[in-house]
Structure 1
Amino acid sequence: MGGLFTGIALKRSGHRPTIYERSAGALESRGGGIVAQRNIRRFLSDHDIVDPDEITTRSHERRFLTECGDVERAASETMVFTSWDALYRQLRDAFSDERYRTGTAVTGVTPETATVTIDDGSERSADVVVAAEGGRSATREQLRPDADPEFASYVAWRGVVDEAALPAACVEAFDGTFTFFQGADQLVLAYFIPGPDGETEPGSRRLNWVWYDTLDGRDRTAIFTDTSGSERTFSVSPGRLREPVRHRQRERAATLPPVFETLVGETPDLFVQAIYDLTVPSMVADRACLLGDGAFVARPHTAAGTAKAEGDATALADAFASHESVDEALAAWDQRRTEYGSTLVARGKRMGDVRLNLD
């Protein structure tokens, strides 16, 4: 996502970016829902990609439930949501195939000369290398080896369910709302997102949920060992959770309000992500830069991961347009976006610690 935001923004500014994507086929969603922040919607409109209303859903009330399912409190508030796959498809369609190299992995970066080494052993050079590789960025590990992710001592269980597969009472409980339940050391939320092909009509949408849960008294290794027997550091993707882990989490859903318990039980492929914090001292090294989650990972409570990637990309294009040299542009961009990323990570820590009552 960060690579496409950057490629589109730079191309519009008159540059000739090439995106190297290590995946050979179409990318699949592993995040489900996204809060479609205003800057994301503005990007789609300003670059004539799609009318944001065509790929977003809205809630008009923020609602908190009691454990028995009653409404504890509610407030009028409009939130806009989309799905990872709906947004990705629009961005991908907006970037030319000839400059989008799939099945091409970058194995190394030489920042002094803005050169990348490709997995076939060849090299490519440009004015700048932008590494938008997400939280597990290999380029960050090379350029900032001391910037290690810090586990926040809790996880996010997640899932997406087709609206048509849910009981009518469950659909009614969540329709038009951004719904939460906060219990002892846990927080769960849900909202509607577009359907698999971007549908936004009632009946064709999906319900996205996130359940923040501590690991007190539980074996993290067991939870993050997938069906192949491999231990994962950051996430176990949909369909890869072992049956005992999936069964245990569904049992734990009995501690949630009934509509959330139903939602978890009806989810065919729940998955889990470790919550962690990541910061870098600088996003730029010579002629290479780290963008999006490759530089800063803020906790999902901020609802800013995708918005941050867009902000980094747009700010980079603006910096090149407003400075005489590449080095000046990168220095100005680095100062501005590093400050923003650091502030966002700190805010995410405060939000997570308060909401889960963590010490």
Structure 2
Amino acid sequence: MRGGSVAVVGGSIAGCAFAAAAARAGAERVVVLERTRGQLADRGLGLCVHDDRAAELVAAGALPAGIPAHRLTRRRWVVRDPAAAGGRVIWEQPFPFHSYHWGLLWRGLRAAVPGTVDHRPGVAVAGVGDGPDGAEVRCADGSAERFDLVVGADGYRSVVRAALCPQARAHYAGYVCWRGNLDAALLDGVRPGEDPHPDAVTTVCFPGGSCVVYRIPGPDGPRVNWVLYAAPPAAGGLRLDDPTSFPPGALPPGLRAHLGVLLEREFPPYWGHVLALTDPADTFVQPIYDLEPPRVAAGRLLLAGDAAAVVRPHNTSGAAKALQDAAAFAAAWRRADSWERLVADYQDVRGAAGRDLVALARRLGRAQVERTPGWARMSREEVAAWWQGQLAGAAGIGGRALAP
């Protein structure tokens, strides 16, 4: 199928990937509508992509080559122990992933979008209407435009999802994650002359929560990225009616103080000190949500990335899922002889994928935050069995393989 017009609402990772896929598939006109002016806000976040998923995505053309990445090989699970400043290792497992800096990944994807794509920054989409012959995009400035297909790559609060699945609502999981990153050179001041496990993800385990710490590339050199999951204090000042976050430098005092309590009380001294080095400007809090809409495509509307499913970050699959969505979209386009066939094909393939990721992330969240075991008393064999119980037959984390 060739020709036609496609609007992509949102210019983040999923938006760039879908715009490139539509343009290369043969769409006559591709327009990206992004509410932010200029470059998207970059909090320096880290993310990981499984090596197998990355290889598939490169082969499918969804992940450009040459984007900086840091190789990870193993995951160490540690608990606080008076005899070890860095904690006691209770289990270690293979971790075949590469880590990325969100901003560098986005820039690589943005640079790979063909020049024929019409990027429109500073355009806020207020609503979308679906019809048998196309979809209408209504902007906040009162303008409206029709397209043959509208892709919602507009994240947690997707306007396109609201049109496609008006009853779908995000559900608060009962806990939050504090996120931050810091210059890896600061580690030399904590443990001079030693690079502690640069190829490893360290997971700090404690009653009622856990924290993952790993290296990522950065614009000015390596950085340390961390994500700490725990319930917030009762008076933390959170608004939990819909997905939201407190941006860097804007943490309420209660949340900032509670982070300090967790680091002092629950962490091995070394890791507590490392996280405490994070500048407040590089620290923020994100409440954790689930959202599993009944469909991801219908009529002339299609959802991508976080707009299609809000998955807890434990899966380590967010970026891979967004790029897989784009690869599946491109494959569906090649097979389609009509818009209806393209949309139905995408729904068949990606609807199930999103449901599986949401279910796995809920199991991981329950086991690692909501109902944590007595990690310090467990043998390595018991920890390995506990991990397999979370997977419940899934091959692993990082997302499942692309459909052939």
Tell me the TM-score normalised to structure 1 length.
Answer: 0.89
Counterpart residue number, 2:77: 64
Matches within 5 A, 1:299-310: 299-310=312-323
Deviations 1:269-308 (A, max 9, x none): 3211111100111112311112111121111111111111
| Residue of 168, 174, 180 corresponding to 1:159 | 180
Matches within 5 A, 1:133-282: 133-166=154-187, 167-169=189-191, 172-195=195-218, 197=219, 204-215=221-232, 218-220=234-236, 222-223=237-238, 233-254=243-264, 255-269=266-280, 270-282=283-295
SS at match of 2:73: strand
Task: Give 1:233 shift.
Answer: 4.9
Maintained 8 Å contact 1:45/1:51: no
| Residue of 28, 38, 53 corresponding to 1:39 | 53
Maintained 8 Å contact 1:115/1:123: yes
**Residue 124 (str. 1) matches residue 145 (str. 2):** yes
Task: Write the distance in 2 (CA, Å) between the matches of 1:232 and 1:288.
Answer: 23
Task: Give 1:141 shift.
Answer: 2.3
Task: Write the distance in 1 (CA, Å) between the matches of 2:322 and 2:255.
Answer: 32
SS at match of 2:92: strand
Task: Give 1:224 shift.
Answer: 5.2
SS at match of 1:267: coil
C-alpha change, 1:316 and 1:97, in structure 2 (3 Å) is: closer
- The more displaced of 284-293 and 342-351 is 284-293
Deviations 1:91-119 (A, max 9, x none): 11122386111111111111113121123
Task: Write the distance in 1 (CA, Å) between the matches of 2:347 and 2:256.
Answer: 42
Structure 1: gaps of 5 or more residues: 226-230
Counterpart residue number, 2:19: 7
C-alpha change, 1:149 and 1:44, in structure 2 (3 Å) is: same
Maintained 8 Å contact 1:161/1:268: yes
Counterpart residue number, 1:228: none
Task: Write the distance in 2 (CA, Å) between the matches of 1:100 and 1:39.
Answer: 28
Task: Write the distance in 2 (CA, Å) between the matches of 1:297 and 1:275.
Answer: 9
Task: Write the distance in 2 (CA, Å) between the matches of 1:22 and 1:300.
Answer: 24
Task: Write the distance in 2 (CA, Å) between the matches of 1:123 and 1:274.
Answer: 34
Deviations 1:169-198 (A, max 9, x none): 287224221111211111111110011x2x
Structure 2: gaps of 5 or more residues: 1-12, 82-86, 373-404
SS at match of 1:55: coil
Aligned length: 345
Maintained 8 Å contact 1:25/1:102: yes
Counterpart residue number, 1:343: 356
Task: Give 1:138 shift.
Answer: 2.2
Identity percentage of aligned residues = 31
Task: Give 1:136 shift.
Answer: 1.3
Task: Write the distance in 2 (CA, Å) between the matches of 1:41 and 1:29.
Answer: 26
Task: Write the distance in 1 (CA, Å) between the matches of 2:65 and 2:243.
Answer: 37
| Residue of 103, 124, 127 corresponding to 1:85 | 103
Matches within 5 A, 1:302-321: 302-321=315-334
C-alpha change, 1:194 and 1:29, in structure 2 (3 Å) is: same
Matches within 5 A, 1:281-300: 281-300=294-313
Deviations 1:186-226 (A, max 9, x none): 1111110011x2x6xxxx200000111023x5224x1459x
One-letter identity of the residue aligned with 1:39 = R
SS at match of 1:3: helix
SS at match of 1:114: strand
Task: Write the distance in 1 (CA, Å) between the matches of 2:287 and 2:15.
Answer: 23
Counterpart residue number, 1:51: 65
Task: Write the distance in 1 (CA, Å) between the matches of 2:148 and 2:279.
Answer: 46
Maintained 8 Å contact 1:36/1:56: no
Considering only aligned residues, what root-mean-square deviation do their CA atoms show, in Å? 2.4
One-letter identity of the residue aligned with 1:81 = S
C-alpha change, 1:48 and 1:150, in structure 2 (3 Å) is: closer
Maintained 8 Å contact 1:297/1:305: no
